[in-house]
């Protein structure tokens, strides 16, 4: 089949707008979509693909309507089809393809993970590690990529080598990466020797063998990983922004006042000089010379120039 043509009518080219099946990847032009996909009970699937699992590479497209479908159907029809596509049981992520801390998830665990307050973004089949105490989440063998809801009953216990860290610094039994160590140092935390820290979901921490909790060390991580702030934190940040804003405005107003004073001083200085009387050269430079045109003597007119 020629590349870019409609899979039903075999017409068009790769620049023509088409709708793609989320199972087999077949594409259809505007005129062939109704016949090739029908009423779309499970979303944008060919009639022969209904009942089959979607292609995982297309999972990010679920529920995101195309321009072609909006031109073809009414708003209510589009909304109905997109809901079917998102909620259809056969389109859901298979739990047996998701591993957390070395263990495959059950259907209940996957449901809890996807419906918690701060779920993992763009969850796909694969192997992940999860620190239940702090909520840190990442792909197996990599640094943390998100902070999700903590203390979820999913997967096993996080392993020391979950993120392939090589810093000899442990947080909740996981050896952290160099990027995390830099963040700790920027927060003023000592990292000499082989320290072991226990970090809670609110960012407070304590060293191994001690019972006194210390300040928060992961406030910067909230910005890095896009975690929403609490109401108290938002009010504190709002107050800091307002205070800084008023401080900047004060600096601008003070500078404006100083500029006006200097400008007024310069104007007074020029006024005193002008009042004392201009020089002869000043009068010649500031005045326009009077030219008398001799009608009867053309040569005299040239001499004026």
pLDDT in tens, 53-73: 999 889 888 999 999 999 999
Looking at residue 251, its pLDDT comes to 83
d(CA 294, CA 304) in angstroms, rounded, equals: 10
35 — pLDDT class (breaks 50, 70, 90): very high
As a whole number, mean pLDDT of residues 27-52 equals: 95
Domain ranges of the chain: 19-91, 95-225, 231-286
Residue 224: pLDDT band by 50, 70, 90 thresholds? low
Digit-coded pLDDT (tens) for 268-300: 777 666 656 554 444 444 444 544 444 455 554
Any idea of the CA torsion for 120, 125, 127, 133, to the nearest 10 degrees? 20
pTM above 0.85? Answer: no
Buried b (16+ CB within 10 A) or exposed e, 176-190: bbeebbebbeebebe
pLDDT of residue 223: 59
- Lowest-confidence range among 35-49, 99-113, 205-219, 277-291? 277-291
Q: pLDDT tens, 154-163?
A: 999 999 999 9
């Amino acid at each position: 089949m020629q590349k870019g043509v409609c899979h039903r009518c075999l017409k068009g080219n790769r620049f023509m707008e088409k709708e793609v099946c989320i199972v087999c990847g077949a594409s259809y032009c505007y005129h062939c979509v109704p016949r090739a996909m029908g009423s779309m009970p499970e979303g944008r699937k060919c009639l022969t693909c209904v009942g089959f699992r979607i292609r995982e590479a297309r999972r990010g497209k679920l529920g995101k309507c195309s321009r072609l479908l909006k031109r073809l159907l009414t708003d209510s029809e589009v909304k109905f089809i997109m809901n079917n596509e998102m909620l259809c049981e056969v389109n859901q992520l298979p739990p047996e393809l998701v591993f957390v801390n070395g263990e495959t998830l059950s259907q209940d665990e996957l449901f809890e993970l996807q419906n918690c307050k701060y779920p993992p973004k763009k969850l796909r089949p694969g192997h992940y590690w999860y620190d239940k105490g702090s909520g840190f989440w990442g792909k197996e063998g990599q640094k943390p990529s998100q902070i999700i809801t903590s203390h979820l009953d999913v997967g096993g216990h996080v392993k020391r080598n979950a993120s392939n860290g090589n810093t000899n610094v442990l947080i909740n039994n996981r050896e952290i990466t160099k990027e995390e160590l830099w963040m700790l140092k920027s927060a003023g935390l000592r990292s000499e020797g082989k320290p072991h820290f226990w970090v809670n979901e609110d960012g407070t921490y304590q060293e191994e063998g001690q019972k006194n909790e210390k300040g928060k060390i992961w406030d910067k991580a909230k910005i890095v990983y896009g975690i929403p702030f609490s109401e108290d934190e938002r009010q504190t940040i709002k107050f800091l922004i307002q205070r800084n804003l008023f401080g900047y405005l004060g600096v601008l107003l003070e500078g404006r006042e100083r500029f006006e004073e200097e400008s007024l001083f310069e104007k007074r200085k020029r006024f005193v000089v002008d009042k004392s009387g201009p020089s002869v050269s000043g009068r010649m430079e500031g005045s326009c010379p009077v030219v008398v045109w001799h009608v009867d003597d053309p040569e005299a007119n040239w001499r004026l120039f």
